[in-house]
Amino acid sequence: MADNSTPRIIGFLCKWCSYAGADLAGVSRLKMPASMIPIRFMCSSRVDPLFVLKVFLGGADGVLIAGCHPGDCHYQTGNYYTRRRFALTQKIFEELGLETNRIRLSWISASEGQRFVNVITEFTENLKKIGTNPVKEEIFL
Amino acid sequence: MKGHIITSTEGLNKAVKRILMSFIEQGVFDAILVPTRAPSGESFVYLLIKDKKFIESCSPLPPIMPIQGARALKDLTRLGKTDLRVLCVMRACEIRASIELSKLKQINLENISFISIDCPGAFVTRDYINNSAELDKSYGEILNVWKADNLRPSCNTCVSFSCKDLPIDLHIGKIGMKENEIIVVPLSKKGEEFLSSIQIECAQDISEWQTAIEDMQQRKTENRNKAFLELKNKVTGIDNLNNFFSNCINCHNCMRVCPICYCRQCFFESTDQVRLEAENYIIRAENKGGIRFPTEMILFHLGRMSHMALSCVGCGACEDACPMDIPVAQVFKFMANELQQMFDYVPGEKIDEPIPILTYKEDELREYEDAQGSK
Amino acid sequence: MKSFKILKAPDEALKEILLSLFELNKIKGVFALSRINSDNYGYALITDKTLIRDIAPTIPLMPANAAKSISRLTMVESLKSPIAVVLRPCELRALFELVKLEQARLDNMIFISFTCGGVFPTRIMKDGLHDKLEKYWENIKTGENLEDLRESCRICEHFVPDNADIILNLVGENNISHETTVLLKSEKGEKLLTDKINKFVEIDLESEKLRSCINKRTEVKSKIYGAFETEKFGVDGLTRFFGRCINCHACSKACPVCYCKLCFFESAENEYNPSTLETMLNNRGALRLPVDTIFYHLGRLIHVGITCVGCGMCSDACPTDIPVSRIFSKAGERVQQLFEYVPGRNIDEKIPIATFQDTELTEVEH
């Protein structure tokens, strides 16, 4: 990640599904841009919107929350709450003029290595188009 | 002690900025902590500056003090020392509060240097927000004549507005100087070295400046004694105290902005105070016929006073933040003065002098033992 | 709804009702805004009925949100005897939200409220309140709101306390200087007063007059929100909006639905090592201290925006006069609309982020 033109994505991944999916992509030698830094959670519903806000204000170009598909959550109902919390966060971003295309919610299961690659590749391409997060330069945070 | 007079037609702030710029350019310091105009325009916030391009727009001596500098410094070094050599541009009361906080282990002073400026006082923050253009202009004049009637009440009774007796490195003197002049005074050996590094050698006489300070201190001391005398009648006895604080809405703003009040969770907002049974309130209400809500208003003020008054530097941040304009700082300063005199203690004056309640002498204060005469 | 009239001004009418409830042993105490001395008002829990003479619940002030005080009173256990609680519609709604958050209990409380004409910023309590009262009451009759009221009151469309047991109808009533209409909204309310009053008139609170008063507020709201283009803010606009912030967190402590005793932003979790700040300083060239101004406000908005009742305490408490309530109410309303939720409208309605549906919001999934 020494290349300054690669967008930085912070990925909040759930251990049971999306993190395993990312692992599978690696083990299968699938190629994707080196833009994401993974942070493993036990469940996507552990992601407090404050974490998303914190990395966003810290200068991350993109934030990805990835969990199990609805109905498949290892803890039964966690991802349903994640979805609501994410919708709320996105609505607030929208209302206050913050770039909503920098935060993303995706459901990726443990067997979906290729899907993981697709999500990261697409996200990185989009972020390249909209440019670097201007918050990186902000001093009055 | 000798100083160096700088003549500048552009005013105090510009002259100080030039010194700060030299410090950064010559690598004497890694960063400067100095007030800067807020993005919204009519207020000031502290900015830690590494890149010298930000020094151009800073304001070393702003006309208001919305954030007490010690709070800003605490954010940087609470969890340990900073590896950066930082120069903090602050008023005397902010520096004294920082020194008190270092005794309370909330600020680590290693690698931190201070430069202060003679302070004529500050405006009430709300007044300034509503009238910044006019007050900006009038502050420039106040820096020359050192007299004004629209400053904060705390500033009118402040006798520690200059740092010449504090254990810091650098000071900028203005009082008693000509309109276009400031005097740079190193207050320590390190200070002399800092100034040498930017080609400032101090060889001029500082006695005019010192005399001006002493005169002003005398005037302020008279103001203060008069104010304390008037205040004493207003706050003696529980009825008077209740009256004094009758407008209080229990917002605890005074505690929040106080630099000395550093507890993450104030006792008065903790479980002990907040998780009480309903019956507790009902019984108390029945005893007197009724109780005010929120409860424990006087307990909060007197309790806070007993916790922090020994370190109170009289900066007046509490008063500035009170939404009901209660002169909190007056009563706290008054009481702080009495308590500090009991132990002959001046907060923030010596870095190694412990706060009186954190130390003891084996034989002292006998007059408080069995004061009611029981045997 | 059953209703009756008392031939007195609202505060006096309330005193009459409360005194008779005391005498009939229906209540053991009253919680209401009271007069402390000649120009000071504050909430009081009163158990001695002679002190009822000092209450002033309809005086246009809100020195603190009563919901917070009731929460303090009933956090550990319910009240053991009935207390009449007089509060404003937004305070009642905030209290319901607090009950959902397990911060208060409603047992043994009788709620008395009134259609609310708004309050002045609390600072007016130190001087100038009495000069404004006459104009205030004149304006209530037409439902027009004074310009110097709290902004949150001028735009409030929820000033009818649907969840109270007893409602005093004030807004839009021409005769309130000497006559007060009392409505018995709930069964509890009815049972309380049928002993004292035996003649009722059935009226509908939802009148055209009330609707037109609500419309007036909607107009002011559209104008104020229309000029307040938050969608164009971005981080730049936010740093300007909150530029004067002194990080005191008074807004959080004044807010009734901000209930954490130790806020995340004041906890050890959120403290910075000097090395972290040094890295931030290296990356940006300069760093405002204390840090976390925008992070705090946005974070708080995300946490409580869904339960914001628009009471305006935050703006009132701010020492540098930042209109916090304007941004919180506007953004709060948007997230509430996303879930079609109105905070405090129904005690059994769960807070949206505490529940879910199996299939929903597919538009946010990528």
* Strand ranges across the sheet with A103-107: A36-41, A9-14, A62-67, A103-107
Compute the residue count for chain C: 366
Low-confidence ranges of chain C (pLDDT < 70): 196
- Mean pLDDT over each residue of chain B, to the nearest integer: 92
**Cis peptide bond N-terminal to C290, omega within 30:** yes
Distances (CA, A) of A46 to A11, A66, C330: 13, 11, 27
3-state SS, residue B57:
coil
DSSP H/E element including C2: strand C2-6
Compute the residue count for chain A: 141
CB-CB contact of C33 with C86 (8 Å): yes
Cross-chain Cβ contact C244/B129 below 8 Å: yes
Residue B359, min C-alpha distance to chain C (Å): 28
Residue of C nearest to A91 (CA): C335
CA atoms of B230 and C17, how far apart (whole Å): 46
Q: Is B367 on the interface with C (CB under 8 A)?
A: no
Confidence category of residue B134, pLDDT binned at 50, 70, 90? very high
The pLDDT value recorded for residue A4 is 61
CA atoms of C246 and B46, how far apart (whole Å): 10
Q: Between A59, A105, A135, which is nearest C364 by CB?
A: A105
Residues of A in contact with C360 (CB under 8 A): 83
Confidence category of residue B272, pLDDT binned at 50, 70, 90? confident
Average pLDDT for A47-73? 95
Paired tokens of B28: 């004497």
CB-CB contact of B5 with B136 (8 Å): no
Interface test mutation site (partner C, options B36, B240, B293, max chain C beta carbons within 10 A): B293
Residue of B nearest to A139 (CA): B47
CA atoms of C190 and C194, how far apart (whole Å): 6
Instruction: Indicate if the pLDDT at residue A70 is higher than 80.
Output: yes
Residues of B in contact with C76 (CB under 8 A): 275-278
Residue pairs between chains B and C whose CB atoms are closer than 8 Å: 216
Q: Is B37 on the interface with A (CB under 8 A)?
A: no
Pairing outcome for strands C40-46 and C83-86: unpaired
CB-CB contact of C245 with C293 (8 Å): yes
User: Hey, which bits of chain B come out as E strands?
Assistant: 4-7, 31-37, 44-49, 86-90, 112-117, 170-173, 181-186, 290-293
CA atoms of C134 and C177, how far apart (whole Å): 10
CB-CB contact of B52 with C285 (8 Å): no
Instruction: Indicate if the pLDDT at residue B274 is higher than 60.
Output: yes
3-state SS, residue C201:
strand
The pLDDT value recorded for residue A112 is 94
Residues of A in contact with C364 (CB under 8 A): 83, 86-87, 90, 105
Q: Between C243, C292, C338, which is nearest A91 by CB?
A: C338
Interface test mutation site (partner B, options C52, C74, C287, max chain B beta carbons within 10 A): C287
**For residue B241, how far is the Cα from the chain centroid?**
25
Residues of C in contact with B322 (CB under 8 A): 319
Paired tokens of B209: 């400046």
Helix and strand totals (H; E) in chain A: 4, 4
Q: What is the DSSP string of B246-312?
A: TT-----HHHHH-SS---SS-GGGSHHHH---HHHHHHHHHHHSEEEES--HHHHHHHHHHHHGGG-
Non-local CB neighbours of A138 within 8 Å, separated by 6+ positions: A57, C235, C236, C239, C284
- Chains in contact with A, where contact requires at least 3 CB pairs less than 8 Å apart: B, C
Instruction: Indicate if the pLDDT at residue A1 is higher than 60.
Output: no
CB-CB contact of B3 with B202 (8 Å): yes
The pLDDT value recorded for residue B258 is 96
3-state SS, residue B328:
helix
- Mean pLDDT over each residue of chain C, to the nearest integer: 92
DSSP A91: H
CB-CB contact of C288 with C239 (8 Å): no
Residue of B nearest to A138 (CA): B39
Paired tokens of B84: 């950066």
ipTM score of complex: 0.92
Report which of C23, C43, C49 is spatially closest to residue C31, judged by C-alpha positions. C43
Cross-chain Cβ contact C334/A84 below 8 Å: no
Whose tokens are 């309790």? That residue is B303
Calculate what percentage of chain B has a pLDDT beyond 90: 77
CA atoms of A35 and A119, how far apart (whole Å): 12
CA atoms of A135 and A123, how far apart (whole Å): 19
The pLDDT value recorded for residue B375 is 61
Q: What angle do CA B345, B351, B356 make, to 5 degrees?
A: 35
Residue B257, min C-alpha distance to chain A (Å): 19
Residue C204, min C-alpha distance to chain A (Å): 37
CB-CB contact of A98 with A138 (8 Å): no
Instruction: Indicate if the pLDDT at residue B374 is higher than 70.
Output: no
Q: Between C295, C327, C364, which is nearest A90 by CB?
A: C364
Cα Rg of chain A (Å, integer)? 15
Report which of C332, C243, C219 is spatially closest to residue A96, judged by C-alpha positions. C332
Residue C359, min C-alpha distance to chain B (Å): 40
Residue C360, min C-alpha distance to chain B (Å): 39
Interface test mutation site (partner C, options B247, B255, B292, B320, max chain C beta carbons within 10 A): B247
Average pLDDT for A36-47? 95
Which stretches of chain A sit within 8 Å of chain B by CB?
A: 139-140
Instruction: Indicate if the pLDDT at residue A2 is higher than 50.
Output: no
The pLDDT value recorded for residue B186 is 94
- Chains in contact with B, where contact requires at least 3 CB pairs less than 8 Å apart: A, C
Cross-chain Cβ contact C283/A107 below 8 Å: no
Q: What angle do CA C336, C339, C340 make, to 5 degrees?
A: 75
CA atoms of C251 and C129, how far apart (whole Å): 23
Q: What is the DSSP string of C274-340?
A: HHHHHHHHHHHSEEEES--HHHHHHHHHHHHGGG-----HHHHH-TT---HHHHHHHHHHHHHHHTT
Report which of B35, B221, B25 is spatially closest to residue B115, judged by C-alpha positions. B35
CA atoms of B12 and B106, how far apart (whole Å): 32
Cross-chain Cβ contact A140/B54 below 8 Å: no
Non-local CB neighbours of C360 within 8 Å, separated by 6+ positions: A83
Sign of the CA dihedral B194, B196, B197, B200?
Answer: positive
Residue A1, min C-alpha distance to chain C (Å): 16
Sign of the CA dihedral A141, A7, A37, A96?
Answer: positive
**Cis peptide bond N-terminal to B167, omega within 30:** no
DSSP H/E element including A27: helix A18-27
